[in-house]
Structure 1
Amino acid sequence: MRQIEAMAVDRPGAGFRPHHYESGPLGPDEVDVQVTHAGVCHSDIGMIDDEYGISRYPVVAGHESVGVVVGLGSAVDSSQLRLGDRVGVGPIAGSCMRCVWCRSGRTQLCASRDDTVMRGDRGGFASHVRASSWQHVYRIPDEITSAEAAPLLCAGSTVFAPLLRHGVRPVDRVAVVGIGGLGHLAIQFMSRWGCHVTAVSGSAGKEEAALALGASAFLNSRDEGALGWVRGTFDLILSTVSADLPWDQYVDALRPGGTLSIVGLPAAAISVSPMSLLPQAKVVAGGVPGSIEDNRAMLDFAARHGVRPVVEIHSAGDADRALRSVREGTARYRAVIEM
């Protein structure tokens, strides 16, 4: 048991204040991590500002935590984790490891999964964060700094998992909609994977950045008829934006059997005409962060192929500024707090 020093928020739109709580005894499968770096994700803002209607204040958010192992439960496999290891705890801090989803390797679908940010008052914006299942604690490769690793745990996992989930091949043509916190990583992963990547944005000013990240082509979605130019082009379209899009036009841009994977969170219902999907067996799929093995593969791939988030690093004393940059959408591209 230890005293945890956390950064809490008391109401929607507010800034951080100091908050303390007792961690409680360490369970047999649990791991305590002393946090050195914490990424700020839009899902954190969703909990802090009660966008989902489930927040109970005070809220301690944070689900992209990197730090050092300082506590191990009695059942933790010592060949996998040791005291002093540099590790990450992401959006899923545990799962039951007994259900059909966990036993088949799809831990991200476990009905009892421990969603770090959804705990409400025990997230990663704190001196320590606890993982309820040691298998969900990831060693960070030496090639990746702790500030870079933090956003990979959520944003990186979210955009890398569709490559595995949908069987994307190096010869495929893919499109990434949005060049932001998720999209700038998706472009890097997909281009290093070997794909021809088209970056899609409504901002013409992002073309240079998209090409520098590894995109092969750029499409300004605000140009008249732009989506019609790419009809039947892509094997996979990854939508990373929190916006309501002309979904039928994006489905039309898929090749037969292609997949529209949605990892951003639109505000309204997603509506697609049956005739856009059925005749050519196209797929519209939701996206969640990857499984345990997906995440290990993602970190290894990022280390070997130079995939790195572009981060703005803030001190703990400047954490409110990091919060504002994500709230206002001005972070380029991920905000990280040095704890």
Structure 2
Amino acid sequence: MQVRAYAAHEAGASLRPYEYDSGPLGANEVDVRVTHGGICHTDVSLIDDEFGVSRYPLVAGHEAIGVVHAVGDAVVGLSAGQRVGVGAIAGSCFHCEWCVSGRTNLCPARDDTVLRGDRGAFADHVRASDWRHVHPIPDAIPSAQAAPLLCAGTTVFSPLLVNGVLPTHRVAVVGIGGLGHLALQFLAAWGCDVTAISTTATKRADAERFGATGFIASGEEGALRAAAGSFDFVLSTVSANLPWDDYAGLLRPQGKLCVVGVPDQPIAFSPMSLVPAAKHVAGGIVGSAAHTRQMLDFAARHDIRAEVETFPVAEFEKALGRVREGSSRYRAVVEFE
């Protein structure tokens, strides 16, 4: 099948139409006709080769909503015309120790959609290498609002399960952006007492609208120290290089700081920030196939939606620009039809 995609041909270049032949469909594979594609900052980073790993021509994209176009002979439970999503992980081996224990997101052979080179989801079709990573979308969630859930949504939802966050916990979310605005909604629906942390108070009203009952303007002198010892769990969604000891100081004894944003400098702590009160630091990534489906079900039941700006394909560069400059409120989604 000929796939019409949108590719960058060198670092930082504008996207141009690009076609390739996807080849024969494998037994476990699924072709999805894309209707909506979310833009994650990782997509922009790869287009600009910020990580030094990009290969051109590069087709980014890993938050695709569409309908099933064709399925392989071994596919179960999916049929042509069904509305589905293909997210950050489009396949895994299903025989390693991580897959057989349900932790498909830790599979060493996982198929990271955005790292494929010229086979990403900024295209009219995207192929999943395993049908178990193709997720039916609940009827209650519109396609544009569903797209960011397949990366941003599962990235902030899975740590709640992995780290045992309870409704009785006091939780803080660092950053009110593409990930943070979803984390606030999930945690509020989870039953937690939720505080939003942002550099200034400009997003206070939005944070409260997303479910925060407390707010800390971290740029104000002494604001973080005043909240020391307040939280059982702190989720950092930002890529900024934070004063990590101050954030560890926010934790209660045995509290946990989970980092899902990717700073460009090492994360360092004084031993005395962690050891005396047995505090924990953890990383977080996109959820497993099971966690992603649980997240979609939870979002549908609790009316959790990504707040999005939508753009036609003709305004792809405008949408990318909004993400580059961090001005999108709160996720950018391209409509492919």
Q: CA deviation at 1:241?
A: 0.6
**Where do 1:53-132 residues align within 5 Å?**
53-77=52-76, 80-132=77-129
**Fraction of identical pairs, as percent:** 60
Aligned to 1:19: 18
Does structure 2 conserve the Cα–Cα contact (< 8 Å) formed by 1:239 and 1:262? yes
Aligned counterpart in structure 2 of residue 141 of structure 1, from 138, 142, 150: 138
Q: Deviations along 1:118-141, whole A, 9 cap, x unmatched?
A: 001100000100000110000000
> Could you say what secondary structure the match of 2:93 adopts?
coil
Amino acid at match of 2:194: V
**Where do 1:257-272 residues align within 5 Å?**
257-272=254-269
Q: Deviations along 1:252-307, whole A, 9 cap, x unmatched?
A: 11011111000111010000111211222211111100011100110000000011
Does structure 2 conserve the Cα–Cα contact (< 8 Å) formed by 1:86 and 1:139? yes
Aligned to 2:222: 225
> Could you say what secondary structure the match of 1:184 adopts?
helix
Amino acid at match of 1:108: N
Quote the Cα distance in structure 2 between the aligned partners of 1:186 and 1:224: 26
Aligned to 1:6: 5
Structure 1, unmatched stretches of 5+, are: none
Does structure 1 conserve the Cα–Cα contact (< 8 Å) formed by 2:199 and 2:217? yes
Amino acid at match of 1:128: H
Does structure 2 conserve the Cα–Cα contact (< 8 Å) formed by 1:47 and 1:120? no
Q: Deviations along 1:53-72, whole A, 9 cap, x unmatched?
A: 01111110000000000111
Q: Deviations along 1:184-209, whole A, 9 cap, x unmatched?
A: 10101001110011000002111111
Amino acid at match of 1:17: R
Amino acid at match of 1:16: L
Aligned to 1:44: 43
Amino acid at match of 1:263: V
Aligned counterpart in structure 1 of residue 318 of structure 2, from 314, 317, 321: 321
Does structure 1 conserve the Cα–Cα contact (< 8 Å) formed by 2:15 and 2:317? yes
Amino acid at match of 2:101: S
Amino acid at match of 1:306: D
Quote the Cα distance in structure 1 between the aligned partners of 2:200 and 2:129: 42
Amino acid at match of 2:168: V
Q: CA deviation at 1:322?
A: 0.5
Aligned to 2:28: 29
Does structure 1 conserve the Cα–Cα contact (< 8 Å) formed by 2:12 and 2:49? no
Quote the Cα distance in structure 2 between the aligned partners of 1:165 and 1:53: 30
Q: CA deviation at 1:20?
A: 0.2
Quote the Cα distance in structure 2 between the aligned partners of 1:32 and 1:134: 9
Runs of 4+ in 1 over 3 A off after TM superposition: none
Aligned to 2:199: 202
Amino acid at match of 1:58: P
Aligned-residue RMSD, C-alpha: 0.7
Amino acid at match of 1:217: G
> Could you say what secondary structure the match of 1:241 adopts?
coil
Does structure 1 conserve the Cα–Cα contact (< 8 Å) formed by 2:200 and 2:220? no
Amino acid at match of 1:31: V
> Could you say what secondary structure the match of 2:89 adopts?
coil
Quote the Cα distance in structure 2 between the aligned partners of 1:45 and 1:197: 30
Residue 232 of structure 2 is aligned to residue 251 of structure 1: no
Aligned to 1:167: 164
Does structure 2 conserve the Cα–Cα contact (< 8 Å) formed by 1:312 and 1:334? yes
Aligned to 2:176: 179
Does structure 1 conserve the Cα–Cα contact (< 8 Å) formed by 2:2 and 2:20? yes
Amino acid at match of 2:89: I
> Could you say what secondary structure the match of 2:300 adopts?
helix
Aligned to 2:308: 311
Q: Deviations along 1:306-330, whole A, 9 cap, x unmatched?
A: 1101100000111110011101111
Quote the Cα distance in structure 2 between the aligned partners of 1:109 and 1:182: 20
Amino acid at match of 2:149: L
Q: CA deviation at 1:84?
A: 1.1
Does structure 2 conserve the Cα–Cα contact (< 8 Å) formed by 1:157 and 1:295? yes
Does structure 2 conserve the Cα–Cα contact (< 8 Å) formed by 1:263 and 1:287? yes
Q: CA deviation at 1:12?
A: 2.1
> Could you say what secondary structure the match of 2:319 adopts?
helix
Q: TM-score w.r.t. structure 1 length?
A: 0.98
Amino acid at match of 1:4: V
